[in-house]
Amino acid sequence: MSTVPTIIYTKTDEAPLLATYSFLPIVQAFTKHSGITVETRDISLAGRIIAQFPEFLAEDQRIGDHLSELGALTLTPEANIIKLPNISASVPQLKAAVAELQAKGYALPDFPESPQTDAEKDIKARYAKVMGSAVNPVLREGNSDRRAPKAVKDYAKAHPHSMGAWSGDSKTSVGTMGGNGDFFSNEKSVTVADATDVKITFTGADGSVKVLKDSTPLKAGEILDATFMSKAALVSFLGEQIAKAKSEGVLFSLHMKATMMKVSDPIIFGHAVEVFFKDLIAKHADTIKELGVDFRNGFGDLVAKIEKLPADKKAEIEADIQAAYANGPALSMVNSDKGITNLHVPSDVIVDASMPAMIRAGGKVWDAQGKTGDTLAVIPDSSYAGVYQAVIDFCKKNGPLDPKTMGSVPNVGLMAQAAEEYGSHNKTFEAPAKGTISVTDAAGNVLLSHEVEAGDIWRACQTKDAPIQDWVKLAVNRARATGDPAVFWLDKNRAHDAQLIAKVEAYLKNHDTSGLEIKILAPADACTYSLERIVEGKDTISVTGNVLRDYNTDLFPILEVGTSAKMLSIVPLMNGGGLFETGAGGSAPKHVEQFVQENYLRWDSLGEFFALAPSFEHIADTFKLPRAKVLADTLDTATGKFLEFDRSPGRKLGTIDNRGSHFYLALYWAQALVEQTGDLELQAIFAPVAEQLVANEAKIVEELIAVQGKPVDIGGYYQPDDAKASEALRPSATFKAILEMI
Ligand SMILES: NC(=O)C1=CN([C@@H]2O[C@H](COP(=O)(O)OP(=O)(O)OC[C@H]3O[C@@H](n4cnc5c(N)ncnc54)[C@H](OP(=O)(O)O)[C@@H]3O)[C@@H](O)[C@H]2O)C=CC1
Ligand SMILES: O=C(O)CCC(=O)C(=O)O
Ligand SMILES: [Mg+2]
């Protein structure tokens, strides 16, 4: 065990990275006399790309594989990681990041779209390692406990965020395939009694055999599922939905998770683009082929590549694009000013955040004119789509939820060791032809098999037993700690869930559940049950699998407290370490755009504050370091005061932004350190600091606000220049000087 208490503060991307330039120096100053070391590790997209290609780069450009290092650390009891959100890159983002780094002098290889040689295949495989959700599954060696702290709920009740109106005649609804060839309907699941190693094989109708994955070790008691989405069913479903949106006069929107489901969902996304623009694509098939357009990267891939065409050809295609828009249903927009539609980039619209935002807005999305309208929200697979329909039905009947009075739905999520769908990407395949895909164990027994057609998307998912036991324990602990009902969102009619229910029922018996209300309900029913309670101001713990963990921890926070940035998000690692995620949301790309345009950062760091307190507590416990507990308690007090005085970033220029909010946190933290009497040495150290911060409040705030309103250069998007970014994010000389006193 390491002897120096160390917090690893992750260096990530976009808005959280910008916030780090301002906040980390504060954390380092406040921990300086505590015996705690605060170090960073670079898990940004740029850092992860660089780490893959050492031999292409100069010595001083190389970065070690910090992600693997942290992955190993999560297996140890002293692991203590503050994990900020990072980019889960789609192909367009990956290419943009590579281009930026190349322009900065990094001799990285281009991303090979269709690799031919072994060397190109190796390069593509290395890039594949950093694509999509490549970070979280490595670090999440524990299950998740996400909830809105009481102070945040109280704040939302006192300062309710806006909620769009919902009327009974809203035409918004969810479109999903249902029992028609989707993942839900085709799922098969087994629990293996003994450890084994399974092989995934495709056998063509012509008798040819291809091993898709040679080895997947399973532990005793592990659940293994397999399922597929029929391409034919999907394509015909998408055609129907597009026609339906048009006939109902609502905006068509598609909601996928192409980042986390990085193999299956870009394929589905690509089909949606191809169906929507069917005539255009048929008419220009040859040109599209020549240009090497890949619709899995979104319609934007075509829009970008036609730039290379001669002017007349380009104009012809552009006119046909306009005709396609005019012919189809109106498309929901990501950015109507720039003409970016829902189908442009697969990572622009991500279901966990996009559906709650739509629901919060009263069932509305943006149209091409910048107005809002009702939508047919298409979520092809029906495993979880019903949850959103349940919320929509509830709001249509009862009107919008009221943040002033509503209860809460915290979440206990099964995610350790890449549980369920989010661990499926290395076991997801597009069927090469008509045939059978089978999973056989080490003894040659067929565990699962499906008849597939060319293009069907087949996937297998694993869920280990130890994480399930840990998850059940965590659920019981939360129910005991709160007295609230705990509902397992599991559907006995779904193959995987049926296996899980058997385990849940067995493992609940290992715990004292007397007096606790524990239920198992199918997801949509569990959602309705929780909503019926939420309007009565009651809390209901949602105990879910990995995907619903992701969905629910944006859905309920966004409705309850306006954003998932304010969530406490703890991952008690199974070997005793702690992973403290900051909030439950992402890296807020649009905040960066605003920052570089007008030097204003709207990012709210409450998630970071909430993560840091239990991180200190973990150190206090693990290293028997009372001073760490003092830091935790005083930070808690400071965060409470921060909420009470409403010091989160404002929404408009001229108010304090992220940097000002950090100043106030520092001020309140210093004051709390002075007010405590348990550690007199710390009290003495922080007395002059608190005094200086109070005395200079007006000056510091003025210095922080003075820089707003003009563009600012941070020297890069994916890899900002540290010196420039640090200067931009720490514009108050007075505040800096006071921190240096510590
Ligand atoms: N843990 C992780 O590493 C996660 C990473 N991601 C990644 O983040 C990127 C963007 O994902 P996306 O789905 O757009 O979701 P985001 O959560 O980044 O953005 C959705 C919106 O949430 C609001 N928001 C989120 N966090 C904050 C914050 N701290 N302060 C203020 N507002 C906030 C903002 O909108 P508003 O105007 O409504 O306030 C923001 O535009 C992707 O690359 C995705 O893969 C996503 C989720 C988790
Ligand atoms: O890892 C990712 O890509 C996103 C994670 C996420 O959305 C979540 O855990 O809530
Ligand atoms: Mg999420």
Cα 550 to ligand 2 centre (Å): 6
Q: What is the pLDDT of residues 293-337, one digit of tens each?
A: 999 999 999 999 999 999 999 999 999 999 999 999 999 999 999
Atom number of ligand 1 nearest to Cα 554: 17
pLDDT of residue 179: 76
Nearest CA to ligand 1 atom 6: 586
Encode pLDDT of 99-136 as tens digits.
999 999 999 999 998 899 999 999 999 999 999 999 99
Task: State pLDDT tens for residues 6-43.
Answer: 999 999 999 999 999 999 999 999 999 999 999 999 99
For residue 609, the CA-to-ligand 3 centroid distance in Å is 19
CA distances (Å), origin 508, targets 512, 519, 544: 8, 11, 15
Angle (deg, nearest 10), helices 697-706 and 658-675: 160
188 pLDDT more than 60: yes
Of 101, 97, 71, nearest in space to 83 by CA:
71
Contact 692, 29 (CB under 8 A): no
Report yes or no: 89 and 68 within 8 Å, Cβ to Cβ.
no
Instruction: Specify the DSSP class assigned to residue 331.
Output: B
Structure tokens at 26: 């504060």
Q: If you write DSSP's letter for every residue of 361-413 in order, what string do you get?
A: TTSEEE-TTS-EEEEEEE---HHHHHHHHHHHHHHHHH-S--TTT-----EEE
- 14 burial (CB, 10 Å; 0-12 / 13-18 / 19+) is buried
CA distance between the termini of the chain: 30
Is the entire prediction scored with pTM above 0.95? Answer: yes
pLDDT digits (tens, 9 = 90+) for 672-692: 999 999 999 999 999 999 999
ipTM of the complex model: 0.98
Q: What is the pLDDT of residue 401?
A: 97
Instruction: Give the rounded percent of residues in the chain with a pLDDT score beyond 90.
Output: 98
Give me the chain's average pLDDT, please.
97
What's at 584, amino acid-wise? A
CA distance 23 to 730: 9
Q: How far apart are CA 235 and CA 272, in angstroms?
A: 8
What percent of the chain has a predicted confidence (pLDDT) above 70?
A: 100
Q: Confidence band (pLDDT; 50, 70, 90) for 2?
A: low
Helix or strand run (H / E) with residue 310: none
Nearest CA to ligand 2 atom 2: 133
Q: Give residue-wise pLDDT tens across range 390-444.
A: 999 999 999 999 999 999 999 999 999 999 999 999 999 999 999 999 999 999 9
**What span, in angstroms and rounded, lies between the C-alpha atoms of 568 and 7?**
18
pLDDT value for 1: 54
Shortest-distance atom of ligand 2 to CA 350: 7
Among the listed residues 658, 636, 661, 667, the one whose alpha carbon sits nearest the alpha carbon of residue 646: 661
Distance CA(533)–CA(524), nearest Å, equals: 14
Q: What confidence score (pLDDT) does residue 651 get? A: 84
Which residues are CB-contacts of 539 (< 8 A; sequence separation ≥ 6)? 407, 408, 409, 410, 482, 484, 533
Residue 526 pLDDT class (50, 70, 90 cuts): very high
The Å distance, Cα 575 to ligand 1 centre, comes to 29
Atom of ligand 1 nearest to the CA of 353: 13
CA 625 to chain centre: 33
Is any atom of ligand 1 closer than 6 Å to the C-beta of 86?
yes
| Sheet (strand 196-204) strand order | 209-218, 196-204, 435-440, 446-452
Q: Is the CB of 354 under 6 A from ligand 2?
A: no
Q: What is the pLDDT of residues 612-660, one digit of tens each?
A: 999 999 999 999 999 999 999 999 999 999 999 999 999 889 999 999 9
Beta-bridge mates of residue 91: none
Answer whether residue 149 shows pLDDT above 70: yes
C-beta of 176 in contact with ligand 2 (< 6 A): no
